[in-house]
Amino acid sequence: MKIGIIKPDYKITGGFEVVVNHIKAELEYRGHNVDIVNVDATKRTLNDIPCSIDSHIFQQNADFFRYINYFWKYLKMDLSMYDIVISTQPPSFAIQHPRHIALFYHHSKAHYDLSELFQEVGLHQPYHRKAQEVIREIDSLSLSKVSIILAGSNTIKERIAKFNNLSVNVDLFYAGIDKDIYNYSGPLSYNYPIVVGRHEFPKRPELFVNAMKKLPNSYGRIIGEGGRTDDLKRIDQLLTYTSIEGIYIPDDVIWKKLSNGFFEEAHSELLRKSKRFKHKSNVVFTGRVSREQLFKEYADALCVVCPAFEEDYGLTAIEAMAFSKPVIACADGGGYVELIKDGVNGFIVEPNSVALAEAIRKLVDDPELARTMGENAFQTSRLYSWDNAINKISETILK
């Protein structure tokens, strides 16, 4: 069977790209002819919208009009050479084909599950609510024409029902994890808490940083980097100073404002003071690491903290569990919450640094508990193999 996977190309390699590459490889192994049809998602032209847009209006609502442009681009694609097509990130599900599977992990988040948060923080553009109304309407129309939507988690399935009023043509698809991670059998130790992932809003590594300041005799490691890394390092320096000086900064200010570079004068003044005193932080930033080093970080970790808000799936948590590590996530963590049985293979805590610190402290004080929970976590990870994932894709293709 000739299969086309339609993929917006953001010129980065993240979790979604890993999933798509695995699907391609596994389907080819099973005898299918598979193309990944990349569509450059970094271009800023509006050539595909069938009308002219005033430049002033475009500048006020650039993200919205780019979304509409790509909606039209996908809508007009000729995919008749494929027996079946698989769309991926939005708005690639606007493609037209009689046999169309949507591999669905998230909407345009600023106009759906993160809409209210973006408005609260001040990251939205003018006319946000009208743009949101239009995007939800065209998305719902497109998704209603899809043969089957494979939602990447129950969290995503619930969002599709809530926002697009669709449930009949929606099924679940849980991606497998990297086979070398799934089959890891090397040495393990339980040393320190870590956070793994890109530094983007609202992944909330800031909550982990603030939690570690409440555990001054322990240290943690932050693995990875991203667009918010510089702000995160400034926050760490600031909180190192304020924790020693007994100055309180609310968690909501830290992860909603400071993480986006919105430092008020009072915070900027504290940051200037922190640079003079140069207190040593108990948080280590590794930056981007090699695959070999990532495995070592997982293997040496006491636990893996996943503080993100409304995560779509939770691949990091499953990877951690494959290394027999308990996972700590927040109650508003979306897909992460689906993976954790509180007190069994990890902890689900309130989304604040005090609760995170308390959960970490339990494992620091009781390494045997960390090992026991890690063994339970390992058993959970066995459910997320690529064999299971591709079997689901294959069943859907053959329907």
Judge if 132 and 203 occupy the same domain. Answer: no
Judge if 42 and 166 occupy the same domain. Answer: yes
Average pLDDT over residues 168-182: 93
Residue with tokens 């109304």: 133
Q: Please give the residue range of the domain that contains residue 270.
A: 179-381
Residue 75 in contact with residue 94, Cβ under 8 Å?
A: yes
Across all residues in the chain, what is the average pLDDT? 94
CATH number of the domain enclosing 298: 3.40.50.2000
Distance from C-alpha of 293 to C-alpha of 357, rounded to nearest angstrom: 26
Judge if 40 and 152 occupy the same domain. Answer: yes
pLDDT at 275: 87
Classify residue 300 by burial, with Cβ atoms within 10 Å: 0-12, 13-18, 19+. middle
Tokens at residue 2, please?
């000739």
Judge if 124 and 154 occupy the same domain. Answer: yes
Judge if 21 and 81 occupy the same domain. Answer: yes
Judge if 268 and 291 occupy the same domain. Answer: yes
The mean-pLDDT minimum among 57-66, 247-256, 316-325, 373-382 falls in 57-66
pLDDT digits (tens, 9 = 90+) for 128-147: 999 999 999 999 999 999 99
- pTM across the whole model: 0.92
Judge if 117 and 203 occupy the same domain. Answer: no
pLDDT at 397: 87
Judge if 7 and 48 occupy the same domain. Answer: yes
Q: pLDDT at residue 95 above 90?
A: yes
Distance from C-alpha of 388 to C-alpha of 399, rounded to nearest angstrom: 17
Judge if 391 and 364 occupy the same domain. Answer: no
Q: How confident is the model at residue 197 (pLDDT cuts 50, 70, 90)?
A: very high
Residue with tokens 């001054």: 216
Cis check: omega of the bond before 91, within 30 degrees of 0: yes
Q: pLDDT at residue 399 above 80?
A: no
**278 C-beta neighbours (distance < 10 Å), count:** 10
Judge if 294 and 392 occupy the same domain. Answer: no
Distance from C-alpha of 397 to C-alpha of 173, rounded to nearest angstrom: 13
Tally of domains within the chain: 2
Judge if 170 and 83 occupy the same domain. Answer: yes
pLDDT at 44: 82
Judge if 287 and 374 occupy the same domain. Answer: yes
Q: How confident is the model at residue 13 (pLDDT cuts 50, 70, 90)?
A: confident
Average pLDDT over residues 336-351: 97
SS (H, E, C) the chain: CEEEEEEEECCCCCHHHHHHHHHHHHHHHCCCEEEEEEEECCCCCCCCCCCCCCHHHHHHCHHHHHHHHHHHHHHCCCCCCCCEEEECCCCHHHCCCCCEEEEECCCCHHHCCCHHHHHHHCCCCCCHHHHHHHHHHHHHHHHHCCCEEEECCHHHHHHHHHHHCCCCCEEECCCCCCHHHHCCCCCCCCCEEEEECCCCCCCCHHHHHHHHHCCCCCCEEEEECCCCHHHHHHHHHHHHHHHHHCCCCCHHHHHHHHHHCCCCHHHHHHHHHHHHHCCCCCEEEEECCCHHHHHHHHHHEEEEEECCCCECCCHHHHHHHHCCCCEEEECCCEHHHHHCCECCCEEEECCCHHHHHHHHHHHHHCHHHHHHHHHHHHHHHCCCCHHHHHHHHHHHHHC
